Structure 1
Amino acid sequence: MTSGRSIRFKISALLVIPLVSLVGLWGFAAGTTSGDALNLLKIDTLWRGAIDHADTLVSALQQERLASAEKVAGNQSDPAALAASRARTDKARKTFTEQASSEDTVAALSPDMARQLKETLTAVGELADARRLVDGGSATPAELIAAYGEISDSVHRLYAAFALGTDLQLYQQARGLIGADQVRELLNREHALIVAAAGAPSEADRQLLARLDGARSYQYPRAMADLEPASRVPFQKVDTTVLDRMVTGYLAGGKNDVELWRGVAEPVIKGYDEAVWKNGDALLARMEPAGYAIILRAVAAGVLGLVAVIFSIIVSVRVGRRITRELATLRRGALELAELRLPELVGRLRKGESVDLVAEAPPVAVQAGSTSEVVDLAAAFDSVQSTAIDAAVEQARLRQGIAEALRNLARRSQSLVQRQLKLLDEMQSQTEEPEALERLFRLDHLTTRMRRHAEGLVLLSGGTAGRRWRSTIPVEDVLSGAAAQVEEYTRVRVYPMPECGVAGAAVADLMHLFAELMENGAAFSSPGNEVSVRGELVGRGFAVEIEDRGLGMPEEARQAVNERLARPQEFDPSQTERLGFAVVGMLAARHGAVVTLKPSPYGGTTAIVLLPTSLIEPLPTVADAPPELESVSVSVVRTTETGLPRRTRTTTKNTELPRRTRQANLPQRGKQEQADERVRQEQTEERSPEETRALLSSLQSGWQRGRQDSEKDGGSES
């Protein structure tokens, strides 16, 4: 299952991302709302700790500036008035500095507020420079207004910084109030400028007055626009008509009557002072309840938002777990179907077993009330299962039909081949011409190979060999019989080996197995090289080595064949390559034999067949031989013309029971060497036609008697 991430991880990620976003939005909203509410509560501390005292300081500065203007104009009738004004300013400045620097005020300040407060305190500290300018006697009205105006402007910037902490509605009211206070400050500056200029204003004084009056005219409607209608009333009650007309006259070059100006300006300034203070108290009274209301709304919104987040988390987790369980159940069912039930069911169908499809192939299990898509997916798996089972059933029927057809054809071929062999035996017994006997012998050998191939087809199609032996057969006879079924039998040499026998029930299969390996060795080696067959008893049974001296096999091909021989599978008709190895693996697995291929020292391939101990039996002794009418002694020699074993037999009188002496059918090494030497000597001499005919007649008789002996020992062919 490769990758990737599990479905649980993906579903969790799918649910966690929106939940985290929701929690983040809730935290941001709650934090913002709570911050605004806390800022409103801090405004009370800031107002009482800084704004109130700053306003007192501004009022004191306005009075000191007016007294300083009278001194600059030279109309100061009471010198003590300036000293008293400065004393009030110093007191207000001290109070403002102490309260603005207190712990409560500093704790309520934001970074922007703290920075602006520091700037204001610095400007207040420069008041001494303005006083020295006034006391020096060289200050002009414009310089006087500028020196004191820097402090007032800094205080108004502090007001604006403090107003940022309120909500939108209150911030608008605070901005309107700050604008109205700036109008009051501009009006006080005009008053001080006209007083300082006395009756002879300079051109610079007139220009400054024009700028101040223009700024006042511009600021007043903007401030009124930000204030609520009720907050505008105190300002609208202040009548500035006469004052504005007098300022216009002064700007036009009219005479400056200071006393008349005082009588008009001071009531207007007083009205502005009262309007600003009244609106300031009203705004402060609204801020604290508004802060508590916002806090209540923030708490309610936060609690409800938290409940919604928790509910979303619970629902998401439950839905995610349910979907995960549904998919996990479907996954387990699909894996069980794909890896266990379906392969096992298909395997049983291939073997031809009877299967209850309803019980063996139930639908893929899903949880009750599962998601419709999961149910649809399970139904799709059920459809796939049904299709696969139908295909497997059809394939099993087809394979079974093909196997039965092949077996029937092979059985018929076996029957025809057996009849052909009997007919050849009759023809050989009735023929004495050497050339005809030789051709009949070749035809006999070809027919024997046809019988082996037909038998291989029976085995591959699931059948068993028709031939059976009841008694124990010597291993060397089994190997010699196998060599006789190979096309190039003259190149196969069976070396002497220990005396032991093979159980009769396994003789036909083992003979076929050895014949396939021998023919494979002869087919893949040079025509001049022999295929050596040796055998010996080992600790786990009897080992037979079939060695050729050909080109050998590639390492990968040899490993593939060894794996196929170690774990033989059901024969697949579509794989037509190396059918001999398929037959070998099938026969070896049937009798518990182990077949292994390895490289030969001569460059070819050596096939090692390990017969288990259960197949190896001792040869019967003389006392164990069954009674017969005559005693038959059978020996085997290898003819020079064909290389096949030739049986010769001698018969004694009928008064003795038949005897089979040990090693009578397995010549000793010395006898074999003497026989080979005699054969080589005979090859050097030229035979006459009569000798050749006699030799072939002897060969024919040997084959006939060999088949008769085989039938007497229990062999039957079908």
Structure 2
Amino acid sequence: MRVRNSRTISVRGKVIFLLASLTALWGFAAWVTGAEGVNMLGVATLDAGIAQPQEKLLVNLQTERRMTMVALGDPISARRQHASLTSQRQATDTTLVDFRALATGGFVRWIADDALDERVAQALHALDGLAGIRADVDAGRGDRERVAAAYDTVIDQQYRIYDSMAQLDDPGVAKDTRTAILMARAREVLAREDSLAAGVLAAGKMTTVERARFAQLVGTQRYLFGNALAELPAADAASFQRLQDTPQAADLRNMEEQLMNPPGSAQAALPVSLVHWNTIATDVLQRLQQVVLTTGDGITDRAVPIAVGVVVRLLAAAGLGLVAVIAAIVFTITTARRILGQLDKLRTEARELAENRLPAVVTRVSRGEEVDLATEAPPLDFGADQIGQVGEAVNEVQRTALSLAAGQAQLRRDNATVLSNLARRFLVLVQQQLSQLYAMQRRGDIEPAELDNLFKIDHVATRMRRHAENLLVMAGSRPGRGWREPIAMLDVVRGALAEVEDYQRAQVSVLAPAWVEGHVVSDVIHLFAELVENALRFSPPVTTVTIVGELVAHGYAVEIEDRGLGMSREALDEANHKLANPEQATLSTHPLLGLYVVGQLAERHGIGVTLKQSPYGGLSAVVLIPRELVHLTASGVGDLETQTWADRLGASAPPIGAPVRQLSSPRHSTGPRPLAGPQPLVGAQPYADPQPFTEAQPYADPRAGAQPEPVIEHMIGSVAAFSTGPLARLTVHPGHPGPSRADQPAKDAGPAGTTLNGLPRRSPQTHLAAPLRTSSASSPPQPDTGKPGASPEEIAATLASYQRGTEAGRERAARQIDERSDPPPGPSA
């Protein structure tokens, strides 16, 4: 027979042989020294540490229970025997201390399993309640039935420990253990019968409930003893039978029958005396205790030979195992050197490939670069054996990874190109639709209701344009809209609100004057629009979304706060992580498309976006635009040379009592169309001491047929220069000056300068600054000429003509800006 050379044996064969020998060795040892050996060797430990001290504790508990029943049955004699009861309680406490120390000892805890540990803990917890039971008895707060039930509960917890100790591997020993436990439980039932009878005899009477309970206990103990006798070993069964044949046992059975079936009426005196019952019952219980202990000792004696056999098998397994281990070591030393050397080399090369070369090549391939794979990632060569085959498998993985990376990169580029082309074509169609809408809006014969519908369609088209630009962002492209010169922050916010649904709920509270760099205006508008739309979508329709902007040390901060549903802490942290690391976020893991777009736009320009919990329960999005993208003047020149950023921080925030601005309904939905020379916002100058804050009131939709909102006349001139967007009009809140009523005649006025009640009369524009005052305050009231007013048709025609004129002026201003902005790209092929 030809012996096969060890060098030709495969690595798999060597490893299988080595593992098979070690597995067989330790499997045999585990079989010999496994659960059976530990279980049987632990019988003596559990018997000495738990069973024996617990048996003493049970005897004392049963004695204390009987003496307590006697004391409750005859309180007069109980006072004379109080010393005996106290002595018995002390004996119980002494055995309890011993049981607690042994049952929780280190070696017993190591032998015991989890179930036994739990039963011991429950038993000790029940024993802690003895003090409360004794206190109730001494205070006279308990009757015999309730106190007996409390003692029974404590004792039952002790017997549950026996049930956990009966889980032995040897069938014969396990059967005898269960029989011994059955004997112990039968003795406990007899002890309960004894305590009940002692209490009844001490009281001198037996109720119907007590007689029924007594009969139940008698039947139970006789049934349990009968079952145990059938399962006991021959020697133990004979010992128990001898006890049953004693005159004491017969006398006890006779007294049980007399108590269950009294010869006279139920109200007659009991036929059994307390002294005689105590003498007989105590003797029988002690004899039964001896039988139970003898049965337990026999079980322990029978377990010792089994444990000795376990030790013998353990020694045999150790000898055979030693021989097998020596052979395995010799074989391993001779074969492992070459295997380990090759594996170490393979590991080094594979790690270098996986951690350095392959990622670099995949990255370059993903970017579309031309890569020479043979030079950048050369194949691994480790021979023709099994380790060499592993190296070839690594080479195959490398080639597959590079091929997949190249294919995926090309697929992503193709998808991005197609997506970008489709988006741009869609944008062209939307822009054409907007142009058609502008032309229809400029018609002179259009009705007001039709004009309002056109404005609504215009707004929907503007939102469609933003969603199309979302596709460009996801494709990595840039929208075609752009501006060369800085645009006012107010116009940027207006343009964002013009691109969202339900814009009427958006409220611009405070917006410090600043101008955004022209080339980022489109992306900033898009970013604001996504955040505002998320805030509107996830908040109740009866709430508002507040927008606040101010200069800060690192740029310009805009806070968008809603009062909606909010997010959990985990979801909020995850969203902020994806906003800060958009390259790690994918559309498959990003449930909110708007936040994905926000992250891409923010990363493109270095804008910081942070989400946080709002005090109102919703979310607050803080957008921090870097200083290099924000200007303090419309020209954007000299921001940092002639005036430091810190100098303007104090002048950027209006006073607390300043009016809150809220945007009204849009008349166009095309985003900001700033004029050539934006003017600073009203209130941009440094302010005096803060005044009490006046809370803004919610606004209704102006298109819903409500009365026209009053306009602050002295603001029109300063705001009109940059109010060319779709959200141009400013509204006045209650509590702020409205149109003057100086031309209305007073009715029953008092003296000059006072009202009818003698109070000072208010003079319009008295407290306004001099440059803001108009001559209307000092002009005398004009008398009513009595001429009839214009008809409703004439008023409607006049307002429509005025509206068309203002629209035409805004369109001309927008075209001037469009001529100076970057032209939008044409449709892609």
| Greater helix share, structure number | 1
Which is higher, the Rg of structure 1 or of structure 2?
1
TM-score, normalising length: structure 1:
0.48
TM-score, normalising length: structure 2:
0.42
